[in-house]
Structures are given as structure tokens and as C-alpha cells.
Structure 1
Amino acid sequence: MSSRTPIIVIAYNRPDSLSRLLKSLNRAVYSSKDIPLIISIDRAESNGDVLTVAESFSWKHGDKQINYQEVNLGLRKHVLQCGDLSQDYGSVILLEDDLIVARDFYNYTSQALSFAESRPYISGVSLYNHKQNVLCQKQFSPMEDGYDNWYFQFASSWGQAWTSSQWRGFREWYKDQGVLEASDDLPAYVSAWSEKSWLKYFIQYLVETKTYFLYPKIGLSTNFGDSGTHVQESNTDYQIPLFEGVEKQYQFSDLDSSKSVYDVFFENENLNEALGVSQEELTVDLYGTKHNPQTRYLLSSRKIERDVIKRFGRKLKPRDANIIHEISGTDYFLYDMEKAGQLPDSDSDLAKELFYETKVLYLREVIRLARFLVVKKLKRFFS
């Protein structure tokens, strides 16, 4: 990664969000005073206040450039245009305006991109670390294997970086793509995203090329979920803890040595080792979001009429730890899909799942929340 890798901020119609991100960038630690900052603002009829924020911001760590688009590009074209700058600079860091970054984000990204350069199975670097499975809104965390990273076949849009070669590989693939059709290889949740999304194309690219994004174990960016064109109402659903240290020497694993590798469905790709079957013969579906398995064996939370080989409970966190440590129970089932069987008995239900997902749940708080939401909806309906 070049010492002059630019930080590209993508903005549109949220002046307060942009101001917050820019302040966090100024607070960060950098290895030089020659870091380019490019603020790219998509054209709109009434976003002069966003342009004012960009123009008035004093960047302490290098040159500042403002690109105010001549026409409205829309999010997908805007991100693609910003990613193309990697060909001029050698690499880029992209940040949308509803994020903030940790002070060590540039150091982390520099080390991660340098690590990734000679590893073709890495197609991008994420600054964000998922704590929730966005496909089904359930808890998620990768297995802890002693390294500072994990691998995920899911591109990041909440703080991401690419080398020029990584971006070029995607662009070569992308030029031949039309409208993405739904397929079993891509989660239905992702397929349903609008054609304004660049992210679903990059995720499909990862799946087809069998490559991954490198993710941090502790986040270097976090998402405020501010309301805007693609978010109807502000929320904190995707806020995560930030790494608060600086100048860390990160320890990254290779793909082969990592115990923390996940497919596009947030499922651990290495559980076959604990089950004694080959990876090619096993479909892992602990979250129950894969609906057309083609392998002989299926490890799933769903109950189906196939022969059950093993049963596991759901007590440890993360979910995959229950398989590795062979926790007994009737929450997950290893099926032989070539043999018919009866629906397995299970004591898993909505209440059990809810208490697993929620650390502490008080009835009075649930009642208060339900009352609040009802009143809020009524006010909105009659206003």
C-alpha cells in the first residue's frame, strides 16, 4: 500500500453525518503528513449544505480535494467511480458518510492491504466487523483463533479498501454482468437488493471467484445507520465497538491457517473437520437460510425428513462452537441427505432462541417497548 493511498469519502445529502466522519478522520493517527483526502459528493438539487461542510473542513494530514459530480450518479455508479481511483493511486480507502473510524484505521488498512497484495484469495479489506448476521438479524461473531483477522465471502460497504489489482479483477468481471438473477449461491436477502446496489455485485463476484474479504476481529469503523436515501429511519442496529489502540502491529492469518473462514451465508467453512466429513460433501446451515443443499450431508437448524446422524445443542457462543465442542442437544442436526428419515424431535422454540440471542430480557422492558412502538405507530398513522 502506497503511503499516499487516498481516503475517499462518499457523500450525498447528510451534512451532519459528513461533518462527524471528517472530524473522526482528523483525530486518527497517520504515518505521514501527505495523506490525500478526496471528498466525492454526488449531485443533487439541494445539497449545497453538504458542499459547504466539505469546503469549510480543514484537513490536517495532507491535501484535500472535493469532487462535486456534474450529474447525479446514484450510489452504484458513484462507488464504482471512486473505486476506479485505485488505478491512479495504487489503492484506495472508501468511507460512506454515515461512518466514523477508529484512530488506528489507517495503520490497520495499510498493513492489511500490504498483506493482501500477494494473496489472490483476498479481493478486498473491510474496516468494519460484523456482530450481526444481516440475513436474519441474529447474533454473529467469528471464531476466535488468535489472529487479528477473519475471512468472509461478503464484501464490506461500511468501510473498505482495495489495491489496484483487487479492484481491476472485479471490474473485469463486472463489465460482462447484466441484471443479477436470484440463485441458490446468493442469499435471497442480498438478491432482493435494488439495482442501485454495487455491493450485491461484489458479493456475487466473491462467490463466483471463491475469494474473500479480509475482516478485522475488532472494528476500525462503525455504522451510525443515519436516515438517508437508502435508510428510512435512523437506528443503531449496526453499531459495533471500535479498536481504541494505536500503532498496533497486526497479526494476520493466511486462509489455510485460519479457523475463522465464513461463506456468504455467515456459515463457518471449517466445521467439516469437527464432523469428520469432507468440505465438498457438507452444507453448513446453522442459521437456517440455505434452502436447496446439493451435498450429501447437511448440518442445519431446520427440521427435515432425512436420516439424522448427529444432534447438537445451542448453548455456546458463537453458534459454531457448539459443533466443535460437541454440545449435546436438539437444536442442530447433521443429516444424511441420501437417506430418508422422520422429522427429528426438538425442544427448540421461539422463546429458547430469543433468550439465546438476548443476554438479559426483562418482561417489564418488553411491555414498555411494545407500548412505545404501538403509540409511535398510532401517532404516525394519525399525523
Structure 2
Amino acid sequence: MVLENTALPVIVVIAFNRPNSLSRILMSISKANYPSKNIDLVISIDKTDNNQNVLEIANKFNWNHGTKKVIYQSENLGLRKHIIKSMSIVHEYDSMIMLEDDLFVSPDYYNYTQQALNFSYNNDKIGGISLYNHQLNVYKDQNFTAIDDGFDNWYFQFASSWGQAWNVKHIKLFLEWYETNPEINALDVVPKYVRNWSDKSWLKYFISFVIIKNKYFMYPKISLTTNFGDQGVNMDMSNTYFQVPILNFYGKKYNFSKLEDSHSIYDAFYENLNLNETLGFQKEEITIDLYGYKNIFKRYLLSSQQHHYFIIKTFGRSFKPHDLNILYNIEGKDFYLYDTEVIAKNKFNSNPFYILDYNIKMISLPQAFSIFKFKFEQRLKIFLYNIFKRT
């Protein structure tokens, strides 16, 4: 018999010292659609000397869909400990939605979450549910889109922190692993970019857990949250890098794929895990590295990196997303299928502006100059901010 999680997920909002951010997320939550008047809201605020205005906003917020509870931590925990501690709230409800204060939710976020939790309830390969849909490879600062295989979800070996849901089993397994004090800094299976994140990050531990235990987060094709990138613990300056379109509709009936039926499954490096079948290799034989970020290779390697190995075949970069170029065998010399056991002296013609055009589509010369000027000034501000912050 297939069990179904029928409990109503509690909504947990994480806040610290951003009053405007908290007001915005609470406004979006209040305007969303809900199936019941028995949905609890918990607003958890980490302690600091100057956030009484945040506490006041939480206390005054009117929640019409159930019981509201405001928790003001008795000591300053820091983001990582605050999140980990707040995960334990799930034991009172069986499932939870966690939202940090710089997010904004779709009107359908609760409906999506309920359906996704119910759909995946008995699947031990699922480590959690993401409400956010990634459109940027954060390692390479390049566009990313999961292949559309006809379903409303895709799978990613990468935990979510910009709107996520768990049931009690997800949290229990993670915390059992986390409490062993795992050492992740030497794990090559965890992207170096992730391992280099600050010790304030709880997410790098959940990502590592998902990878080590060979689990996946279930992601939506259309995002149910977006990230305003407000200045805070993990953001030196506000930005719109992680803003994505959200579903402006409610009441959708979602068509989810099971892992075994999905053609949209990605590893922690944003690489399509089905491409080995397209090329006729077993997973153990080939490394897929279209973004050119990996540095440990199996015998066969499909990569955008230019290496002096024997080239078996090449592919172009025309289709978007770029993995479609492999699926449809598009001609060109942008991706290389290598045999790494055979050394060869290869000649490559590089055109970095082609990749720029591929990612941006079109940019005028005045726009290019303005972007260069803005980025230079922005990086300089961040550099100076970090210097003066330490003094």
C-alpha cells in the first residue's frame, strides 16, 4: 500500500535583521492560496541587539489561515545553527516549508508543496522538495535550464535553500548524519565551490548529505519562489542574480515524474545524468562535463574543456539548454568527447565571445561598456566593504 502524507505542512519563516525583507515575504505569504484555516505559521527570529523592529513586524502580522507563533531566540545562533534548530519544528507537524526572509512566494506555493510532498512521500531517494527553480549555474555564472521532458518537475543532486520543504523522515535522516560532525572539505564528489562556502552555511552540509547518500531534491519547472538577494549574512550587497519568474496562478494540478521515468536528472555539477545513455556508455565509464568545471575524469570524457586527449567526436553549441546539442547530435566544435587514455596533440580555435552571445543572446557596445563600468564599480565596492568590515 502506498502511504500518503495528509498533514498540512507548517510554514516556517527565518528572519534576523531585515525588516523590509520580512514585511515583503509575509505579504506574499498572506496573499497566497491555502486549502484550510488550520495552517500554522512560525516566524523564528535570531537574536541581535538591533532587530526589535523585526520582532515588532512579526508580532503585528495578521495571519488568517491558522495559528501564528513568533519565536525570538534567547541567544544569537548565527544562520547555520538557526536553520538547523528550526528544522526540529517538523516533528510537531510531520512536514514543513522553510522560507528565508529575502524570498517571495507564488500564490500556488502551498498547493505545489503539498502535492510534491505527497507524491514523493515513500521515495527514499528524495532528500527534500525545492520551491525554487535554478536558472543559473553558480559555479560558472552561466545560464542553466533543466531539459523539459513533459513533466512539471526535475531532479537535482543539490539541496535547496531558497524555499524548501521536508517531511519528518527527511529531517531525521539528515540530522542523524549531521550530528556525526562530517568532514566534507576533502570530498571531491562535493563541488569545490560548495566546500569553500563559509562555515555559516548550513546548505553546504545538506548538499553534501544529498550527494553522499545519493539522494535528490525534487525541483519545479516553474519556480514557486524567487530570491530578492537582499544584503545579509550570505550577501555582501543586494542583487538580482537569483530572481526567476514565478508561477502567477493557483490551483494547478501538477504532473510529476518519478525518478525512473524522468529525463531531467542532474548531478551536483548541473550535468545531465542521462547523457551517458545517449552516447552509448555506462555511467561508470564516462564523465559528463559540459560546463567544464570538473577536474576528475573517467576514461571517457564529454566536456567543453580543451584537453590533449584523443577526440572521438565533437558537438556544437546551438540548442538551449546545451545538453540538447548532445541529444540531437548537433555538429560543431564546442563540446568534445575524449578518450583520456590516449594522448593527442589537438588544435583548438577559441571564441570566448561566442559563449557570451550564447548566454546573453544580444548586447550592444554601449550596453557592454555600461556593464563593464557597473561591474567594476560593484566589485570595487565589495572589495572595499570587505576590507573595512574586517577593521
Aligned to 2:158: 154
**5 Å matches for 1:286-365?**
286-293=290-297, 295-343=298-346, 345-365=347-367
Are 1:143 and 2:142 matched, yes or no?
A: no
> In 1, distance between residues paired with 2:379 and 2:259?
48
Q: How many residues align?
A: 381
Could you say which residue in structure 2 is the equivalent of 1:108?
A: 112
Structure 1 moving runs of 4+ over 6 Å: 375-383
Deviations 1:55-89 (A, max 9, x none): 11101111100000000111111111111111221
Q: Secondary structure at the match of 2:219?
A: strand
TM-score normalised over the length of structure 2: 0.94
Partner of 2:331, secondary structure, is coil
1:84 counterpart (68, 81, 88) = 88
Identify if the C-alpha distance between structure 1 residues 71 and 363 changes in structure 2 by more than 3 Å, giving closer, same or farther. Answer: same
Q: Which residue of 1 aligns with 2:64?
A: 60
Helix, strand or coil at the partner of 2:366: helix
Letter in 1 for 2:253: Q
Q: What is the deviation of 1:333?
A: 0.5
- Which residues of 2 match residues 1-383 of structure 1 at below 5 A? 1-293=5-297, 295-343=298-346, 345-373=347-375
Q: Are the equivalent residues in 2 in contact too, given 1:182–1:188 (CA < 8 A)?
A: no
How many percent of aligned residue pairs carry the same amino acid?
48
Distance 1:249 1:369, change over 3 A: same
Q: Distance in 2 between matches of 1:374 and 1:267?
A: 31
AA aligned opposite 2:145: S
Contact 2:32 2:109 in 1 (8 A): yes
* Structure 1 unaligned blocks of 5 or more: none
| Counterpart-to-counterpart distance in 1, 2:374 and 2:164 | 37
Going from structure 1 to structure 2, the CA distance change for 1:2 and 1:50 (only over 3 Å counts) comes to farther
- Cα distance in 1 between the residues matched to 2:141 and 2:326: 21
Residue pair 1:98, 1:225 contacting (<8 A) in 2 also: yes
CA RMSD of aligned residues (A): 1.7
Q: Greater CA deviation, 360-369 or 297-306? A: 360-369
Deviations 1:294-317 (A, max 9, x none): x22110011111111110111110
Stretches of structure 2 that go unaligned for 5 or more consecutive residues are 386-391
Change (3 A) 1:372 1:188: closer
Amino acid in the other structure paired with 1:151: Y
**Residue 52 of structure 1: SS of its match in structure 2?**
helix
Aligned mates of 1:81, 1:129 — CA distance in 2: 25
Partner of 2:389: none
Instruction: Quote the offset at 1:106 in angstroms.
Output: 0.3
TM-score, normalised by the number of residues in structure 1: 0.96
Tell me the distance in 2 between the aligned counterparts of 1:240 and 1:194.
Answer: 25
In structure 2, C-alpha distance between the alignment counterparts of 1:291 and 1:19, rounded to whole Å? 44
